[in-house]
């Protein structure tokens, strides 16, 4: 009997982590950044939250290639990015549960992170389920896998060694903790349900081979040759089977252009098709695995058989516009400040593309106004932790009315009917969230976005919007620092001088203690006390920062004076100053993101 050289298994994440894995020293480092990590969990959360999802629905995240070692541990040849990220998620769930409910425990979860195994000598040996053997990992995964007493991870900050891999893994952990906190907060039951979905419904294919050499060959074959027909091929066959011979080559070329566009932007074809259907037709609920059947049943609506050329041209135009939107541009390819801002707010976000596709043929000024409202509402959803599924469900439901918008009046009618009530519902929670906003409650890139928007708004009110100032990157580029007015690492004298020394850590991370400042100014004041920092603040071109040190005014009833009317200046910097500035920034945020004020119950 010949030995089986390849074994392929369709496994849930829970089943995958019944075994042990090592990432060998010859592997490249962990390279996933915030964008890839956020995209993975945004996609899974969207499927988990889907209203029409049945209990058996599955989410596929790809394949891994392994080969067994003599000690019954699998050597991971391909797929370490997904495997490491999934393992970090398990650690993050355990830590979050312990943080909100100290006595909470999921024994199965603990065993998926680490367990006692029997070695070749028959001795018990404690092992973590995933072990990184390449030098750049610096034992960081072991630090995360080791259970903490409280769910806090101060031990991460104590790691002195810094490599790209260590930083990426730490960032991935922090991103996932933030994702869990934003989606579930104190909802233990909700998080347990998501964990159950992740381990029972998220699946991958594990390809097992008899040797490393054979595994590498399998890996090379999978990546170089693809895996046969995919969903787009099947859909193409459905649409073109009745095309006339003289049309077929032209249709084939346009279809290839469509697929290439989606590939270039790294977009999932099925998500694009699903959002296209939401944007073009009166459909607000549709799972990805229902798309093919939907097209079969709705040919009269789509006309892909009767008029395949027109249908594919519209699909291609939508794909081109979709790519523009993702890259922060309008359908004509011109940079759009609000779409660029959404990238800064959430580069992995996709739900808003439903509305943009529905409105892609609006006149430029109306499309621009729609984008402004989308950015504002999207941020309101994020900061108030509105469930992710609400974005998609609402936007899909609104497209029918958006497609009827033709002019400024009908756009305003649409906004009055849909956007403004949604904002009113969130307004009180928005003000509360901004009043309590701190670095631990928001991802770093989103906190920078918040500070940039606040800073930009004050400058524009004072000086008008022109040139580079309309680009948020002016306030977010590498030449701009996030300044902690009360330093991140205060001296003992600063701590003792602070009016609430026991709470100084909380005040340091509060929004009221943060400002944007030019790196050239910040380099000389990093750990100084407020009195010495004021000179640098006064030299900043950012009025919100400059006002920390001096009252700004020119003439009488000027745009600058009106812009600075409610912006405070401070003589000293203590807890009351930080609280006062936080309240001021929260009220300013209502104006920045156009949120209703004084909404009645």
The 3-state secondary structure of 349-415 reads: CCCCHHHHHHCCCCCHHHHHHHHHHHHHHHHHHHHCCCCHHHHHHHHHHHHHHHCCCCCHHHHHHHH
Q: Do residue 554 and residue 454 come from a single domain?
A: yes
pLDDT at 380 over 50: yes
Q: Is residue 597 part of a domain?
A: no
Same domain, 219 and 280: no
Query: Last residue of a domain, which of 413, 435, 457?
Result: 435
d(C-alpha 378, C-alpha 373), whole Å: 8
Same domain, 424 and 355: yes
Q: 213 with 265, same domain?
A: no
Contacts of 277 (CB under 8 A, 6+ apart): 283, 286, 291, 294
List pLDDT tens digits, range 156-188: 766 656 788 888 899 999 999 999 998 998 899
Give mean pLDDT, residues 275-296: 88
Q: What's the whole-number mean pLDDT along residues 412-436?
A: 95
Say how many domains are in the chain. Answer: 3
Residue 601 lies in a domain: no
| Residue 319's pLDDT band (cuts 50, 70, 90) | very high
Domain boundary among the residues 391, 416, 435 is at: 435
Q: Under 8 Å CB-to-CB from 154, ≥6 apart: which residues?
A: none
Task: State yes or no: pLDDT of 591 exceeds 50.
Answer: yes
Transcribe 198-243 into DSSP letters. Answer: HHHTEEEEEEEESSHHHHHHHHHHHHHH--S--HHHHHHHHHHTT-
Q: What is the pLDDT of residue 8?
A: 86
Residue 382 forms part of a structural domain: yes
Is 105 part of a structural domain of the chain? yes
Residue 300 burial by Cβ neighbours in a 10 Å radius (0-12, 13-18, 19+): exposed
Across the range 281-288, mean pLDDT stands at 87
Residue 76 CA to residue 27 CA, distance in Å, equals 9
Residue 423 sits in the same domain as residue 456: no
219 has a pLDDT exceeding 80: no
What does each C-alpha distance from 27 to 11, 17, 32, 80 come to in angstroms? 23, 20, 14, 9
Strands 6-12 and 202-209, sheet pairing = antiparallel
**Residue 265 maps to a domain:** yes
Specify the residue for token string 């090379």.
220
Determine the pLDDT at residue 226. Answer: 43
- Tell me if 1 is assigned to some domain: no
Q: 468 and 562: one domain? A: yes
Do 278 and 208 sit in the same domain of this protein?
A: no
Average pLDDT, the chain: 87
Q: Tokens at residue 240, please?
A: 């073109």
* pLDDT at site 229: 42
For tokens 């701190």, name the residue.
438
- One domain for residues 369 and 511: no
Between the alpha carbon of residue 492 and those of residues 14, 116, 234, 506, 507, the distances in Å are 48, 45, 67, 16, 16
Distance between CA 173 and CA 181 in Å, rounded? 12
Shared domain for 504 and 581, answered yes or no, is: yes
* In contact, 291 and 232? CB cutoff 8 Å: no
How far apart are the C-alpha atoms of 395 and 285, rounded to whole Å? 11
335, part of any domain: yes
Report how far residue 24's alpha carbon sits from residue 554's, in angstroms, rounded to the nearest whole number. 65
For residue 227, count other CB atoms closer than 10 A to its CB: 9
**pLDDT at 133 exceeding the cut of 90:** no
- Tell which of 383, 410, 435 closes a domain: 435
- Domain check: are 430 and 517 in the same one? no
118 shares its domain with 242: no
Written as six digits, the tokens of 38 are: 């956020």
According to the model, what pLDDT value does residue 287 have?
84
Query: Is 599 part of a structural domain of the chain?
Result: no
DSSP string across 322-345 = HHHHHTTB-TTS-B-HHHHHHHHH
Read off the pLDDT of residues 226-255 as tens digits, 9 standing for 90 and up.
444 455 766 776 777 666 767 777 888 888
First to last CA, the chain: 76
pLDDT (average), residues 255-270: 86
For residue 273 the two structure tokens come to 């098709």
Higher pLDDT, 529 or 524: 529
- Are residues 431 and 288 located together in one domain of the fold? yes
Tokens linked to 522: 């910040």
Domain extent, residue 551, equals 439-592
CA 177 to chain centre: 12
pLDDT for the residue 277: 95
**Length, in residues, of the chain:** 601
510 secondary structure, DSSP code = B
Q: Express as a percent the part of the chain with pLDDT over 90.
A: 50
- Quickly state the pLDDT bin for 14 (edges 50, 70, 90): very high
């Amino acid at each position: 009997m010949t030995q089986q050289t390849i074994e392929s298994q369709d496994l849930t994440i829970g089943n995958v982590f019944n075994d042990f894995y090592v990432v060998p020293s010859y592997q490249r480092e962990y390279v996933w950044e915030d964008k890839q990590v956020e995209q993975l969990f945004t996609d899974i959360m969207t499927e988990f939250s889907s209203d029409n999802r049945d209990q058996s629905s599955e989410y596929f995240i790809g394949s891994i290639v392994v080969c067994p070692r003599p000690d019954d541990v699998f050597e991971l040849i391909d797929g370490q990015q997904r495997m490491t990220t999934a393992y970090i998620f398990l650690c993050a769930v355990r830590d979050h549960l312990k943080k909100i409910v100290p006595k909470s425990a999921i024994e199965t979860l603990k065993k998926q992170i680490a367990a006692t195994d029997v070695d070749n000598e028959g001795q018990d040996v404690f092992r973590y389920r995933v072990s990184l053997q390449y030098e750049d990992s610096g034992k960081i995964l072991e630090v995360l896998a080791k259970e903490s007493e409280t769910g806090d991870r101060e031990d991460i900050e104590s790691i002195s060694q810094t490599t790209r891999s260590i930083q990426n893994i730490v960032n991935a952990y922090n991103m996932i903790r933030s994702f869990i906190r934003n989606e579930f907060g104190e909802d233990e039951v909700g998080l347990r349900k998501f964990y159950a979905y992740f381990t029972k419904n998220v699946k991958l294919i594990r390809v097992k081979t008899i040797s490393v050499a054979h595994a590498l060959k399998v890996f090379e074959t999978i990546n170089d040759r693809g895996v046969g027909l995919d969903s787009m091929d099947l859909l193409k066959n459905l649409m073109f089977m009745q095309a006339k011979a003289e049309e077929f080559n032209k249709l084939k070329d346009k279809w290839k252009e469509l697929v290439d566009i989606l590939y270039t932007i790294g977009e999932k074809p099925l998500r694009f098709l699903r959002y296209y259907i939401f944007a073009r037709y009166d459909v607000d609920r549709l799972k990805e695995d229902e798309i093919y059947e939907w097209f079969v049943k709705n040919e009269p609506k789509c006309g892909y058989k009767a008029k395949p050329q027109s249908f594919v041209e519209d699909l291609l135009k939508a794909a081109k516009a979709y790519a523009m939107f993702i890259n922060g541009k309008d359908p004509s390819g011109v940079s759009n400040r609000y779409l660029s801002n959404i990238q800064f707010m959430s580069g992995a976000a996709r739900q808003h593309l439903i509305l943009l596709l529905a409105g892609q043929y609006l006149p430029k000024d109306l499309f621009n106004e729609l984008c402004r409202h989308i950015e504002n509402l999207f941020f309101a959803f994020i900061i108030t932790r509105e469930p992710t599924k609400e974005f998609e469900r609402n936007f899909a439901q609104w497209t029918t009315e958006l497609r009827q918008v033709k002019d400024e009046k009908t756009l305003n009618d649409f906004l009055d009917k849909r956007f403004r009530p949604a904002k009113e519902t969130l307004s009180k929670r928005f003000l509360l969230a901004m009043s309590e906003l701190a670095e631990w409650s928001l991802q770093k890139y989103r906190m920078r976005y918040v500070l940039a928007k606040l800073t930009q708004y004050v400058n524009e009110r004072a000086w008008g919007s022109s040139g580079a100032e309309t680009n948020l990157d002016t306030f977010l580029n590498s030449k701009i620092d996030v300044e902690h007015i009360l330093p991140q690492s205060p001296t003992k004298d600063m701590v003792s001088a602070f009016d609430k020394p026991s709470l100084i850590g909380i005040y340091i991370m509060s929004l009221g203690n943060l400002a944007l400042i030019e790196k050239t100014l910040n380099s000389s004041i990093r750990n100084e006390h407020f009195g010495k920092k004021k000179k640098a603040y006064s030299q900043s071109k950012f009025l919100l920062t400059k006002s920390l040190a001096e009252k700004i005014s020119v003439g009488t009833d000027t745009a600058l004076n009106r812009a600075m009317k409610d912006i405070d200046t401070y003589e000293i910097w203590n807890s009351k100053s930080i609280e006062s500035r936080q309240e001021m920034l929260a009220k300013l945020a209502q104006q920045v993101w156009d949120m209703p004020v004084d909404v009645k119950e």
